[in-house]
Amino acid sequence: MNKASQPTINDVARLAGVSKKTVSRVINNSELLNGDTRKRVEQVIAELGYTPNPQARALALRRNFVIALIHDNPNAQMVLGVQHGLLEVLRDTEFELLVHPVDRGDPEMLGEVRRFLERQRPYGVMLLPPISENDQLAGLCAEIGCRYVRMGSAPFDVPQHMVASNDRETVRHAIAHLIEAGHRQICVIAGPRGFRSALERQSGYEEAMTAAGLPFDRTWIAPGDYTFDSGIRATERLLDLSPRPTAIFSCNDEMAAGAIHVARQRGLEIPADLSVIGFDDTTIASHIWPPLTTVRWPIVTMARAAALKLIGTGPGDHGDEHALFLSTLIRRASVAAPSS
């Protein structure tokens, strides 16, 4: 055993007086093993502080012990929340986290991801919205033969491959909250076309209005793309409506911040003259003035669950069933009764 480098399986085998294969069996928890030899080998492993070399395992198994995070999500807090949740469960395992952002707009995207997966052969891959909604991407993972879990605003895959929140339902609650407060003309700043989250959140709005017997108009739904600037533009449009809306539901916090800016520029007090609800509960929601009522989804919890599905030991997992995670309305100071 070379003192300079780390102990290998050979060192363990020699010191335990067994073959490499036996040590390998111990490492991989093989069933067919004499209890005594196992104990002896484990003893030596502990003494040496031996750890299997990940690169060698990866080569032999043609499978890398890493989880790949594939995303095209511009929300830093969300991406980092996911990394946090993932790493929390990966921390005490042999797995590492590989980050691989992609460009949804790139026509080469799928080919690029394929090369990535074929080269790295990750054990599992975590797909973040909005790219998680791409069925071809999911299909690619399946084809390459690596586990995958998709994160989304609603279940659009089987539980085994999905961690989802209930955006639509939570938005219904949020709108109902507004209606209870006395609002009738509730407008919405929508999310980008084609995003499932945007669809779910807007549907939640429509369902809540309909359920309450409240009429609403196409013009009440202003287009947005989840950016601050689009929130500004949308709000300007909405506040030009007459009669003016008394409440605005924004499909994310960033655009809600834009709404607050515009309101303030127009001399409108929040929440006295205009109530606002956001979505995501990013830092800005609690740090802006007034503190924003918003919807929080349990991102870290979802990521933890996803990691469990990814590294779980197969179809026996509990995780296979549980794929839905409830968002909650965080009530702060941006909602009040409309000033008649």
Partner DNA sequence: TTGTATGCGTTATCAT
Partner DNA sequence: ATGATAACGCATACAA
User: Which residue ranges make up the site for a second copy (CB under 8 A)?
Assistant: 5-6, 51, 53-56, 58-59, 62, 64, 66, 76-77, 79-81, 83-84, 87, 96-101, 115, 118-121, 228, 254, 257-258, 260-261, 264, 283-284, 286-289
- Indicate the residue among 64 and 185 with the shorter CB distance to a second copy: 64
- Indicate the residue among 10 and 93 with the shorter CB distance to DNA: 10
- Indicate the residue among 175 and 311 with the shorter CB distance to a second copy: 311
Task: Tell me which of DNA, a second copy, none is bound by residue 155, counting a contact when its beta carbon lies within the kind-specific cut-off of 5 to 8 angstroms.
Answer: none
| Spatial separation of the C-alpha atoms in residues 280 and 273, rounded to whole Å | 23
The site for DNA (CB under 7 A) is made up of 5-6, 8-10, 17-25, 27-28, 32-34, 36-38, 50-53, 56-57, 59-62
Nearest distance, CB of residue 59 and a second copy, angstroms: 4
| Spatial separation of the C-alpha atoms in residues 207 and 190, rounded to whole Å | 15
- Indicate the residue among 285 and 335 with the shorter CB distance to a second copy: 285
Cis before 290 (ω within 30): yes
Task: Tell me which of DNA, a second copy, none is bound by residue 18, counting a contact when its beta carbon lies within the kind-specific cut-off of 5 to 8 angstroms.
Answer: DNA
- Indicate the residue among 143 and 240 with the shorter CB distance to a second copy: 143
- Indicate the residue among 59 and 211 with the shorter CB distance to a second copy: 59
Structure token pair of residue 38: 């196992």
| Spatial separation of the C-alpha atoms in residues 163 and 301, rounded to whole Å | 10
Nearest distance, CB of residue 56 and DNA, angstroms: 3
Nearest distance, CB of residue 97 and DNA, angstroms: 21
| Spatial separation of the C-alpha atoms in residues 126 and 72, rounded to whole Å | 12
Task: Tell me which residue of 131, 155, 135 sits closest to 324, measured CA to CA.
Answer: 155
| Spatial separation of the C-alpha atoms in residues 270 and 332, rounded to whole Å | 12
Task: Tell me which of a second copy, DNA, none is bound by residue 286, counting a contact when its beta carbon lies within the kind-specific cut-off of 5 to 8 angstroms.
Answer: a second copy
Q: Secondary structure of the chain: what % helix, strand, coil (to 5)? A: 45, 15, 35
Radius of gyration of the chain (CA): 26
Task: Tell me which of DNA, a second copy, none is bound by residue 258, counting a contact when its beta carbon lies within the kind-specific cut-off of 5 to 8 angstroms.
Answer: a second copy
Helix (H) or strand (E) holding 73: none
Specify whether the CB–CB gap between 137 and 161 falls below 8 A: no
Task: Tell me which of a second copy, DNA, none is bound by residue 21, counting a contact when its beta carbon lies within the kind-specific cut-off of 5 to 8 angstroms.
Answer: DNA
Nearest distance, CB of residue 118 and DNA, angstroms: 11
DSSP state of 323: -
Helix (H) or strand (E) holding 151: strand 147-152
